[in-house]
Chains A and B, each alone.
Chain A
């Protein structure tokens, strides 16, 4: 177990900057999710921890050790790949055992010299890993004879058998079907609780990030946008990108101006959004802002000050999504149960001022 620290780390491929001056500290034992759209640099960052990509600039530390120039095999990290990357010619047993066969371990305590494990020790560890991941009956099979979920668990067992300082996972659930994915999410959380190893987990799926992470690091175009607990990034997105990336459907955002006529409000055409209490005194009359509100925070009410033109209603059983527009900008509203709203009609919406987010239109940073 060890922390993983990026200090101003940059990765350039020829002219492309994949990771731009990343500062990020993953605590010892923490489950950190790197989240972002394709090409945001999250996988490159993960591969730099593994040593599969070189570091152009900056310092990367595992524990207290700078590992920029340390060989991948000597970093004592393990990785679960998207394709699982099992060895197809070896049995499950051999696949899991493989890191134990070649690496040296501090098996007699941290002060004693590292050595190769004995046969008995290897068998013990493989059996333990197989038991934890429910693979006992499959040890003699080859990967081709396993289902996707089983292969995935073999990959996890192989990563976990050497008790590495950190587990790296690159979209490990993306090849599973939806049901198995939901189940494996829970198993991963259980596994992490049991082994208490530092986990750095890469995904573009915000559900995985929200459900498993202690903290989420959101990246876009190689830059770190925000680091925080799932609750923090959801309730207080640091900028417009995070606001629109987290949440399904994402946060509604509209261009408006701050006005005080008839009480302080964000004016968007003929609609008025309330202003969070702490911001009322800090905005100037006529100042342009981007106003944001999550679909679940908009409520249908005849007393509402926001006019919504309904285009279509999607009923999902436990809730419905009302699609339409406010002053020409698309806005989605989430209502519990079945809202009897006709398409083509107009409804009025209210929102609690505490649930209104404001962003600077120039920098797209949160105004707080």
Chain B
């Protein structure tokens, strides 16, 4: 039996006084109320709406049970949206991570003026998605852009082009978090590695990265979730086009929030929720085993 299990056995259960229970309830009620009002109840509503199918362009709805879930979650439109979301994650997460790590390693030095570079490298995080997207729109715009390329208007490259702005933004977040992780690695361990004969690359791969693996794990999970939820970039840069090639799941959900398709939108939203949950859970299970936590 686990420690927690043992603690909760009836006869071992700690006895609280009425006053302690009253205080606990008083402290828990506000957060529970907020969660119920703004998350649990709407989520249950969503699950419920997904069981209604629209008739006559939304004039009335018929209750069809789980049939709509079955049909919509296996539809080509849903799978296409999921594939676009996965593409977006595959473009943005590894690149954002690697660039953030490289910048953090470069800026983790005791040099005069290094704070200036640290501030510059982390500034991408401080700009909003909308601002970043507009900047990239005018960098990549085929007519008035700085580089005048057709990346945003070519269905083969549009998703990659949209990803560029997110890579740039993720880099700032990765940079800040990896830098904080690096600052927790004891200098003496790195010095010991130097004396043991590890060169800079070996030190990074064999010592530094394993030691900051909890931080990398956190970043991976957060960046994947960000990627699956990305919306504004797509909306501003391509509006889902060209030819629907950048329609991610979230974008499709937004498109479906109309009186006649709200039921399908609800199904998509529930689908995205469980996919995100599953991906995160898998990341935790797989990586937890390989991640080193000191002490």
Cβ-based interface call for A156 (8 A):
no
Interface locus among B85-93, B164-172, B190-198: B190-198
The answer to whether B196 touches A103 (Cβ under 8 A) is yes
User: Could you list 16 A-B pairs, sorted by A, with CB under 8 Å?
Assistant: A50-B191, A50-B195, A51-B195, A52-B195, A77-B195, A79-B191, A81-B191, A82-B188, A85-B191, A85-B192, A86-B192, A88-B295, A98-B198, A99-B195, A102-B196, A158-B196
Cβ-based interface call for B223 (8 A):
no
Cβ-based interface call for A197 (8 A):
no
Interchain residue pairs A-B with the least CB separation, the first 10:
A85-B188, A103-B197, A85-B192, A89-B292, A102-B197, A99-B196, A73-B197, A89-B210, A81-B188, A88-B294
- The secondary-structure label for the interface of chain B is helix
Cβ-based interface call for A78 (8 A):
yes
User: In the docked arrangement, what's the CA distance between A78 and B197, Å?
Assistant: 10
Interface size range of chain B in the complex: 20 to 34
Residue of B nearest to A99 (CB): B196
Cβ-based interface call for B224 (8 A):
no
- Which of A53-84 touch B at CB < 8 Å? 72-73, 77-79, 81-83
Cβ-based interface call for B255 (8 A):
no
Interchain nearest-CB distance for A208 vs B (Å): 20
Residue of B nearest to A81 (CB): B188
User: In the docked arrangement, what's the CA distance between A98 and B198, Å?
Assistant: 9
User: In the docked arrangement, what's the CA distance between A83 and B197, Å?
Assistant: 19
The answer to whether B195 touches A79 (Cβ under 8 A) is yes
The answer to whether A98 touches B196 (Cβ under 8 A) is yes
Cβ-based interface call for A315 (8 A):
no
Chain B residues positioned under 8 Å from A51 (CB to CB): 195
Cβ-based interface call for A343 (8 A):
no
Cβ-based interface call for A241 (8 A):
no
User: In the docked arrangement, what's the CA distance between A235 and B154, Å?
Assistant: 88
User: In the docked arrangement, what's the CA distance between A98 and B197, Å?
Assistant: 9
* Residues of B in contact with A (beta carbons under 8 Å apart): 186, 188-189, 191-199, 202, 207, 210-211, 213, 292, 294-295
User: In the docked arrangement, what's the CA distance between A73 and B197, Å?
Assistant: 5
Chain A residues positioned under 8 Å from B186 (CB to CB): 83, 85
The answer to whether B196 touches A144 (Cβ under 8 A) is no
Residue of B nearest to A78 (CB): B195
Q: Beyond A87-B207, A89-B211, A99-B196, is A144–B189 a contact (Cβ under 8 Å)? A: no
Q: Could you give, for residues 78-113 of chain A, a 1 whenever the CB lies within 8 Å of some chain B CB and a 0 otherwise?
A: 110111011111000000001100110000000000
The answer to whether A72 touches B195 (Cβ under 8 A) is yes
The answer to whether A81 touches B192 (Cβ under 8 A) is yes
The answer to whether A88 touches B194 (Cβ under 8 A) is no
Interface size range of chain A in the complex: 20 to 34
Select one of A78, A79, A88 contacting B211, CB under 8 A: A88
Sample of 9 further A-B pairs with CB below 8 A, known A79-B191, A88-B294, A98-B196: A51-B195, A79-B195, A81-B192, A83-B186, A85-B189, A86-B189, A87-B192, A89-B211, A99-B195
Interchain nearest-CB distance for A29 vs B (Å): 21
Chain A residues positioned under 8 Å from B295 (CB to CB): 88, 144
The answer to whether B207 touches A83 (Cβ under 8 A) is no
* Residues of A in contact with B (beta carbons under 8 Å apart): 50-52, 72-73, 77-79, 81-83, 85-89, 98-99, 102-103, 144, 158
Residue of B nearest to A74 (CB): B197
Chain B residues positioned under 8 Å from A81 (CB to CB): 188, 191-192
Residue of A nearest to B209 (CB): A89
Interchain nearest-CB distance for B291 vs A (Å): 9
B195, B198, B295 pick with most chain A CB within 10 angstroms: B195
Interchain nearest-CB distance for B218 vs A (Å): 17
Interchain nearest-CB distance for A202 vs B (Å): 14
Q: Beyond A89-B210, A98-B196, is A144–B191 a contact (Cβ under 8 Å)? A: no
Q: Beyond A81-B191, A81-B192, A83-B186, is A88–B292 a contact (Cβ under 8 Å)? A: yes
User: In the docked arrangement, what's the CA distance between A99 and B186, Å?
Assistant: 19
Residue of B nearest to A155 (CB): B192
User: In the docked arrangement, what's the CA distance between A129 and B239, Å?
Assistant: 66
Interchain nearest-CB distance for B275 vs A (Å): 32
The answer to whether B194 touches A73 (Cβ under 8 A) is yes
Interchain nearest-CB distance for B258 vs A (Å): 53
User: In the docked arrangement, what's the CA distance between A98 and B194, Å?
Assistant: 11
Interchain nearest-CB distance for A139 vs B (Å): 18
User: In the docked arrangement, what's the CA distance between A99 and B206, Å?
Assistant: 13
The answer to whether B191 touches A52 (Cβ under 8 A) is yes
User: In the docked arrangement, what's the CA distance between A69 and B295, Å?
Assistant: 37
Interchain nearest-CB distance for B195 vs A (Å): 5
User: In the docked arrangement, what's the CA distance between A86 and B292, Å?
Assistant: 14
The answer to whether B202 touches A102 (Cβ under 8 A) is yes
The answer to whether B210 touches A73 (Cβ under 8 A) is no
The answer to whether A87 touches B189 (Cβ under 8 A) is yes
The answer to whether A83 touches B188 (Cβ under 8 A) is yes
User: In the docked arrangement, what's the CA distance between A89 and B212, Å?
Assistant: 10
User: In the docked arrangement, what's the CA distance between A87 and B213, Å?
Assistant: 14
Interchain nearest-CB distance for A297 vs B (Å): 42
User: In the docked arrangement, what's the CA distance between A30 and B150, Å?
Assistant: 73
Q: Beyond A87-B207, A89-B211, is A99–B188 a contact (Cβ under 8 Å)? A: no
Chain A residues positioned under 8 Å from B194 (CB to CB): 52, 72-73
Chain A residues positioned under 8 Å from B211 (CB to CB): 88-89
Interchain nearest-CB distance for B189 vs A (Å): 5
A50, A89, A98 pick with most chain B CB within 10 angstroms: A89
User: In the docked arrangement, what's the CA distance between A87 and B12, Å?
Assistant: 40
Chain B residues positioned under 8 Å from A82 (CB to CB): 188
User: In the docked arrangement, what's the CA distance between A144 and B198, Å?
Assistant: 23
Chain B residues positioned under 8 Å from A87 (CB to CB): 189, 192-193, 207
Interchain nearest-CB distance for A95 vs B (Å): 9
User: In the docked arrangement, what's the CA distance between A52 and B191, Å?
Assistant: 7
User: In the docked arrangement, what's the CA distance between A103 and B196, Å?
Assistant: 7
Interchain nearest-CB distance for B201 vs A (Å): 11
Chain B residues positioned under 8 Å from A50 (CB to CB): 191, 195
User: In the docked arrangement, what's the CA distance between A153 and B195, Å?
Assistant: 18
